[in-house]
Structure 1
Amino acid sequence: MKLFDLQQEVYRPLWLRVAITVACLGWAAVEFASGAPFWGVLFAAIGAYAGHQFFIAFDPKAPDERDGKE
């Protein structure tokens, strides 16, 4: 079990994946604008990780289909 498993069934809707990624990157912009570069980098990294997991590595199949089970 991974600490941050972004391949779960709950993240299947596209609007949710977009909202999470945009919220993280948007908050990073707020932190950079307010002069807090540590938090800006942290949230930018979280947003980049979420973007990668949701749009590049995401497998929209159900978990049982991914494992080869029926």
Structure 2
Amino acid sequence: MKFIDPAHPFYRPLWVRLLLVGLCAAWTAVEYYNGEQTWGLIFLVMTAYAFAQLLLFFKPATAAETAPEEDGQK
């Protein structure tokens, strides 16, 4: 099981992916602003991972990959 599964249909729209990465980055800033370096570092790593999975290395699934398999039975 992946932490973030980029093949899930929820992550298909660009605005959803940008929003998630932005929220992670904003929460990182909140933690550092409040002087919580440990939590800030944890969320910085989460932001970097989300950025890499959802924006940098994202490959949208094709229709053939997302279509249910037909076994020929009715």
TM-score range, shorter chain: 0.7 to 0.9
Report the count of equivalent residues. Answer: 67
Counterparts of 2:62 and 2:3, CA distance in 1: 18
Query: After TM superposition, which residue ranges in structure 1, 4 or more long, deviate above 3 angstroms?
Result: none
State percent identity of aligned pairs: 36
Distance 1:55 1:41, change over 3 A: same
1:40-51 alignment runs, 5 A limit: 40-51=40-51
Q: Structure 1 length normalisation: TM-score? A: 0.81
Larger Cα-atom Rg: 2
Please list every run of 5 or more consecutive structure 2 residues that lacks an aligned counterpart in the other structure: none
Q: Any idea what the Cα deviations from partners look like across 1:10-45, whole Å, max 9, x if unmatched?
A: 100101000000100110011001000011011111
Report the TM-score when normalising by structure 2: 0.77
